[in-house]
Structure 1
Amino acid sequence: MTQDAADFPPVDLPPTDQSLPIALLRARERLMIPIREALQVTGLTEQQWRLLRVLEEFGPQDATKLAKRASLLMPSQTRIVQNLSEKGYVTRRTNPEDRRRQVVSITAAGHQVLVKNAPKAREISDEVAAALGEEKVKMLVSILDDIIHM
C-alpha cells in the first residue's frame, strides 16, 4: 500500500521556491537557454566552450587547474580535452617540470572558434545586463564569488 505525501510528517526545510541551491539551478538553466541555442551552431558543448574560454583567458595550463577553472570534473575534462584535441582546437604536451602532468593549450583554430562566436556571446551577455541592469549583474557576480570562496 502506498502512502500519499499528505500522510507523512512535515520535513523541516524551507519551501523549494526559497531554497538558494534550487534558485541557483533554476537561474542557471534560464541563462543557459540562449547560450545552448548559440552553441548548437558551433558544434561545441557548453563544457567545451567553457574550456576554450578558460584557455583563451589564462593561457596554457596544467589539466588539473584547467578542470577547476572550467568547473569540470577531471574525468569529464580529460574526455573533453581529447575531443577538442581531435577537432584541432587544443594541444596537450607533457609538463616539463612534472612529467606525470599534461599542459593544455588552445590552438589557432580554437582561438578562431571563439573569435567567430564572440559577437553572439557578447550579445547574450548584453541582453542579460539590459534585463537586470549592470549594477545587479555586478552585485550578483560578487555575491556568487563570495559563495564560491566561503
Structure 2
Amino acid sequence: MKNVRPSVTLALLHAREALMTHFRPALNDIGLSEQQWRIIRILAQYGEIESTQLAEKACVLKPSLTGIIRRLSEMNLVLRRRGEQDQRYVYITLTTEGEEIFKKMSVEMEKRYQNIHQQIGDDRMSRLVDLLKELQKLKID
C-alpha cells in the first residue's frame, strides 16, 4: 500500500454519512429527502429567502434547487414568488403545512441530535463545531 496522506475531505464525507444514518429513517418515514429537509430547516430559520441565497445556505447547486423546490411546492410545503422589482429573482417561503412539518420533525430531529451529542460529549462536540467553523473560513470564493 502506498503512503498517501489521509484525506480530510473523505473523512468528513464518511462522518457525514455516519451521522445521517441517525436522521434518514425519520425523513424516509415522512417522504422527505435530506436536501428537502435542509431547505425546510433553512426556510423555518430565515423565513422568506431569495433562491440563490437559499441554495448557498443549503449547500445545494442552483439547478438542483429548482427541482427540489418544484417537488416541495407540489407537496404544498413551500411557495414561490417572483420579485416585484426584478422578475428574475425568486423568493421561497414555507406554507402553513411546511411550517407544521418542520415543527413536528424538529422535535424528532432534536432527540436524535441529543443522542449524538451524548455519545460525543459536550467538550468534544464543542471542539468539533469550532474546528468545522475554522474550516468553513477557508472557503475560496
Which TM-score band applies after superposition, normalised by the shorter structure? Answer: over 0.9
Q: TM-score, normalised by structure 2?
A: 0.92
- Residues 30-50 of structure 1 show CA distances to partners (whole Å, capped at 9, x for unaligned) of 000021111111110000000
Deviation at 1:116, TM superposition (A): 1.2
| 1:47 has 2:35 as partner | yes
Structure 2 residues without counterparts, runs of 5 or longer: none
Q: Secondary structure at 1:98's aligned position in 2?
A: coil
Letter in 2 for 1:129: H
- Residues in 2 aligned to 1:72 and 1:97: alpha-carbon distance in whole angstroms: 26
Aligned residue in 1 for 2:131: 143
Q: Secondary structure at 2:74's aligned position in 1?
A: helix
- Residues 53-80 of structure 1 show CA distances to partners (whole Å, capped at 9, x for unaligned) of 0000011011000000011001111100
Letter in 2 for 1:122: E
1:54-133 mapped onto 2 (5 Å cutoff): 54-133=42-121
Structure 1 residues without counterparts, runs of 5 or longer: 1-5
Q: Secondary structure at 1:72's aligned position in 2?
A: coil
Aligned residue in 1 for 2:7: 19
- Residues in 2 aligned to 1:85 and 1:140: alpha-carbon distance in whole angstroms: 35
Report the number of matched residues: 138
Give the alignment's Cα RMSD to 1 decimal: 1.3
Identity of aligned residues (%): 33
- Residues in 2 aligned to 1:110 and 1:132: alpha-carbon distance in whole angstroms: 31
Q: Which protein is bigger by CA-based radius of gyration? A: 1
- Residues in 2 aligned to 1:77 and 1:131: alpha-carbon distance in whole angstroms: 33
Deviation at 1:101, TM superposition (A): 1.0
